[in-house]
Amino acid sequence: MASSNILKALGWIPALATGAKSFRDNPVIGSPTLNRWGLHVARVRTAHAVARYRQSRMTHFMPADERARYQRDGYVTIDGFLSPSDLEQIRAELPALGGQARAMHQGDTITQRLLLTREATTDTPQLNALTHNPALLERLMYAEAKAHLPLLYLQHIRHGALADAGLTDPQKTLHADTFHPTMKAWLYLQDVGEEIGPLSYVPRSNRLTEGRLAFEYDRSLVARNQPDRYSEKGSFRVRDGDLARYGFADPVKLTVKAGTLVIANTFGFHGRSPAAPGMSRMEIFAYGRTSPFVPWASSPSPALLRLEHSVFTAYWNDRGRKAEAKGRRATWHPIATDDMIA
C-alpha cells in the first residue's frame, strides 16, 4: 500500500468510533466486504446500546408515560406544551428578534432559520424564557441521550417556494438521518394540518427489530454507490416497497394544534409530508446529535452552549465569505429577519 493510502487509512479506521457515516467518503465504512461481515450492523447495535445506557441515567428528565411512548414509537407528541397566552406572546415578540436569519434551498422548499442565542432573544422575554425552560430542555436532552443543552432555532418551512426549479425536496422522502439515535423536535407556533406538510413518521421504525437490522444490512452493502448523495453519505432513503418488505407500518402524519411539542428519534424513518406550493409552517426547532459511542451522559453547560453558538455563527459567516469570494451563495445564506417572519 502506498504511503499516502496508509496515511488516509489511519484516519478512516479511527472514524469507526465516531459518528462518521459516509459510505462514499470513508472506504472502510463503505466497504461491501466488511459490511457483509457485519461492520455496519455492529456499529448500529453498539450505538443503540450506548444510547440506552445513557438514557437509563436520565429517566428523570422525561415523564414516564412520555418516555414509554418515545421508546415504543420513536416519537412523542405533547399537546398544549405552550399555553394559549404564552403562544400569543411569543408570536407577538417575533419581530423584535435579533441575530442573523439564514435560508437553505432544498428542491422546491426553502428552510429559514434563526439561531436563538442569548443576544437574539434579548428583546423577546417570553421566547428567552422558553430557551431556558427546564420542562423543554430536559425532555430534549433525554431524547438526545445526552445531558447537553440543545440548539434551538426559530424555523420557517416554505413549501413550493421554488416551484420553477423543477426539483423535489429530498426531505419529503422517508429517510433515517444516520445510524444511531438522534433527536429533532418541533414546537409549533401554528396549527399543523395535512395541507401544510406535517412531519411523517413510521411508528416503531426506531427499534432494532429483525426487519430494521435487515434493512440496515442490505443497504450497507450498496450504500456507497447509490444514485442519491444522501444515502451515499449514510442517510438512507426508503424506497418503494421497503416498508412492506421489512415489516414496517405505514407512516403517520403528525397533525397537531399550535403549542404542541413533537420530539422524534430521527434514526426512525421520517420526512416532511407533501404540501401545496405556498403553504408554510412556523415553529421552534431543536436539534441534537451526540457522539454515538461515548458512554457518559455529560452535564448541561450554559457556557458550552454559548461557545457553540459563537462557533456556529463564525462558521457560517466564514462559509458565506468564501462562497461570496467565488461568486456563489452559501448553502445557509443570510436573509432579512423580516422576510423570515412574514
What's the CATH number of domain 3-341, 2.60.120.620, 1.10.10.10, 2.40.50.140, 3.40.640.10? 2.60.120.620
What is the reported pLDDT for 1? Answer: 44
Residue by residue, DSSP assigns 106-168 as ETTEEEEEEE--TTTTTT-HHHHHHTT-HHHHHHHHHHHTS--PPEEEEEEEETTTTGGG---
Q: Quick one: which of 103, 144, 121 has its CA closest to 309? A: 121
pLDDT of the chain along its 342 residues, tens only?
A: 444 555 566 678 899 999 999 999 999 999 999 999 999 999 999 999 999 999 999 999 999 999 999 999 999 999 999 999 999 999 999 999 999 999 999 988 999 999 999 999 999 999 999 999 999 999 999 999 999 899 999 999 999 887 655 678 889 999 999 999 999 999 999 999 999 999 999 999 999 999 999 999 999 999 988 877 888 899 999 999 999 999 999 999 999 999 999 999 999 999 999 998 889 999 999 998 888 999 988 888 888 888 888 988 888 888 888 888 888 899 999 999 999 998
Cell for 176? 433515517
Q: Do 162 and 108 contact (CB within 8 A), yes or no?
A: yes
Q: Do 161 and 279 contact (CB within 8 A), yes or no?
A: no
Cell for 280? 408554510
- Identify residue 272 by its one-letter amino acid code: R
Cell for 208? 432494532
What is the reported pLDDT for 121? Answer: 96
Rounded Cα gap, residues 67 and 275, in angstroms: 31
320: left (phi over 0), alpha (psi -120 to 50) or beta: alpha
